[in-house]
Every structure is written in structure tokens, then in C-alpha cells.
Structure 1
Amino acid sequence: MGLRFTVLSSGSTGNATIVTNGETTLMIDAGFSAKRIDELLLEREVTGHELNGILVTHEHSDHVKGLGPVARKYNLPIYANEKTWRAIDNSVGNISAENRRVFGTGEAHDFGSLRVESFAISHDAAEPVGYSFYDEKYKLSVCTDLGYASDKVKLAIADSDVLVLEANHDIEMLRMGRYPWNIKRRILGDMGHLSNEATGELMSELLNGRLKRTYLAHLSREHNIPDLAMMSVRGAMEDRGCFFRDSEFELRDTFYDRPTPWDTVGEP
């Protein structure tokens, strides 16, 4: 079957993604109420009973709002590194000892035939991570909420066939927006979020012939527009000599209010 995934929803109001290989189905983050997560799952004809666990990237509420309720409702194990566990302990509620799983940063775990690797990212959280998923031939990487892409991040997501990557804000929209300057400085900093331009610059380094699609994720509703993000990322890539036909490589949208269609990694 290979890897299939859907970004259930992505943005500052909440984040959740489903990855499956037919044998194991995992959810990355649970940044909505349990009711809303059930609704999003239903839109992709999945139920919580089909999930085998939840991977946590970091403790911010738009990633863990429904974590405890969903885990308890479906008796799911939660996987997070030790610092993230300490950060979510007060908000996640009662989780049984058997469902409190430690997934150390930089480690790889096998969930049956689905292999998952965790990697460190730069964000103002306890110990934030991204994840890469592998079947025998293909690789999917999910990487949002990072202020900049370090060499280690670039190495971790290199040679992905499909990538879910943050394109959070347009710099000028953010600078002219209504947020207080201290919040703007946080977003623009190395522990904040990737701008459209930074995402395009990173993509120009990753486009090596293997990467087929990148989904632009975690767009700010205040300081970005999907069409602008698409145009800016593509423009930044072209400025660095990356010219491509959509038949060779595609930029795709994610949505704050609905799931993306199911995508199979390794297929055009």
C-alpha cells in the first residue's frame, strides 16, 4: 500500500495530520477539540478507533488541545520526548502509564512495518521535533513550527519524496500587522516560524529530483494568504535558480478548516 497521508487541518487555530501504511495509522498532534478531530477524521472516512497512536511535536495548544480527550476516548498511546511530556503534564490530564510513551528526539521507532524518525527543530517550546516516515522505498517528512532550518533539519528531511513544510507568514504583512512588536519579534526570530521567503530558500536547497510535492502548512490567517504563500515560495525558489514544471514538482496547499485529499507517497 505504501504511505498515505492527509493533513486534517493546519494553522494557528489547530494542527493534526494522519499518516498510514495500511498496517499502522498514526496521528501527528491533536490541536483541536476531540469533537472537531472526529469531524475532520470523518471527512476522510477514518474513525479514532483506527488510530494506533498520537505523535506530539511540541506542547503549544494548537498542537495538543485535544490530545488528552482523544487519547482517553480511543485508549491511544501518546509518543513525546521527556521534556515535552513534562510540558504537557498539566494540560493533558490523566493518561495511563501504558499509554505514556517516550519517543526521544533523534530516535527511530518501528510501528510494525512503519518506521518513524524524530528530529530536533528550532522553536520556542520545551523540545520541539519534526517527524519522518518511511516504508521500504519512500519517505514523507512533516516539519512545521521552526524559526529556521538548521543543517541538521536539512539533513533530516533530505531525500523526502513528499514534504509537509511550514510557510507561516509574509514578512511585510507581519510587520504591518496588529500584533505587538514583542510577538512579531518572536515570530521573526530563530525560535519562531518560517516566512514564505525562508521556505522558498529552503526548498531551493532540497529540490534534488526526488522530491515530488511540498505541502505548505501552518499558514497564519493574520499574516499570510494561500495564493501569496504559493507565489512567494515559488518566486524565492526561482530567484535561486530553481525552475520546475508542475509535472516534475508541485507546491500544494493545506487548509485551516478542512483536510487535504488523501495523498499516496511515491505516486505522482
Structure 2
Amino acid sequence: MTIKVTPLGAALGATVEGLDAGRLEGNGVADELREAFWAHKVLFFPAIHLTDEQHLALGSVFGDLAAVSNDDTDHRRHDTVDDEGRILVLDSSQPMTRAAYWHTDVTFARQPPLGSLLSMKVSPPAGGDTMWANTQAAYEGLSEPIRRAIDGLTARHGRAGLTDFTDHPVVTVHPETGQRILFVNRGWTSSLNDLSAIESSRLLTLLCDHMERPEFTVRWRWSDGDAALWDNRCTMHYAINDYGDHHRRIHRVTIYDPSGAGPVAAPPLG
């Protein structure tokens, strides 16, 4: 099998064509997909129409699978479709399924996921796009004084009454590429530790505003059968809620590092 990986004209993302999701082993394609995943951060599979079995098999190329969180810190409840509860259903007719804000998934957990694989089952006739932002590029786009200011800081992640709280480094290192990443997000990061309330609020707002600049983003217009795989360690995403009462149904698996490792702090700046 030969696959074609085509980078998009943006800060991140590439399309993958020619993949037979039923033949992932023994032909080198799994290694090629992993390399493309690390390089492009989001992979789009147009009109691949994954079955549930193929969805699980493709997600398993990158790690262990769960519906949302692999620990008890997530108090939300979601429907699943497979016997082992690994394929999450996000249906627009249900509450708390429209994530129309910039976020990185499950950063309130001790071990946030390394990625997710989404399969679009029903897309609205118009609207419902998803955007992703490259948080490695966002870090690299910070001025040197701001990099120095956030070096060594940690942030509190979580929402009272919805999740538990966990602290993570503000700047992390990607385990595969070694690149430094800005690891805060508007959806789940509630404060920066060891700062006053006004310092935390202003600096966190500055970082989030910077990360969400269009220069760091890519936008995907969905069609039925499309799939997208993203690296949760170095991206954020935003599901645009502009499709009104039209139906939108997604199946998604969340991917975890089998080692159980959480985010690793970047070494001090020299």
C-alpha cells in the first residue's frame, strides 16, 4: 500500500490519501503514519468512511484507547458505541457536545491524552468546521522576554464542579520531536501558579490570545466520512458552532501513551 501525505498551506496539518484502514500492519504504513503525525500534528483522511473496527485499529497504531479520560478525574458522562466503551459519540442533539472554544483535551487529568481520532458520521450541510492551532509554533512566536517570564512556571487545569484539578508545566517538551510547546489553553487552564491573581489572569489571557492567532491555525470543512487525527500534546482545537439545528454526529477515540507518562517540563532556558 502506498499513501500520499500532502501538507496543507497552513501552520499545521496534512491530508492522507490512499490509506486502506483494514491493512495497517506488515507494510510499513504504520511507521509512515506516525512520522507524518509527529511532523504535521493534524492528519486529515478525506472520505475514508471508517468502520468502528477500522477506527479502533487506526487509533491503536498511536497508543492505548479510551472514550475520554483514562482516570477518574473526568466527571462528565458520554455515550459510547463499542462493547469496551472506547468509541465516544458526540451528537449535536445531546447536551455538552458543542466545544465552541479553544481547548486541548482533558488537560485537567494527570495524564492528558496524546491524541484523538475523529470520524465524522453526519456533517451539517453548512458550517460545523473545526480549527486547530499549533502550540509549538505559538511558543516559538513569543518574544524572548515572555519566554523568560514563563520559564519554569506551572498552571492549574480543571473546572470546579466538572473535573478535578491538576498542575502541569506551562512549557513542555514533545516526547518524539524534542520541541518546546506552550501547554495552556482557554478551555481548561484556570490559573498560573505562584503569581498574584491579577498577574495570573493577565498573563494567561496574553498567552491564550497569542496562541489563538490565525497565523498558527488550520481550518477543516467536514464532509461525511472524513476523519482527523490530532496530536493533543502540541495543538488546541475549536469546534465552530455555526450550524444551528442541523444534525452533526461524530465518533471519536482518545489515544493515550501506554507508558502512563504525563507532560514533561521543558529544561530551563540557557
Q: Would you call these one fold, judging by a TM-score over 0.5?
A: no
Structure having the larger proportion of residues in strand: 2
Question: Comparing both chains, which one has the higher relative contact order based on Cα–Cα distances under 8 Å and sequence gaps of 6 or more?
Answer: 2
TM-score range, shorter chain: under 0.3
| TM-score w.r.t. length of structure 1 | 0.26
Structure having the larger proportion of residues in helix: 1
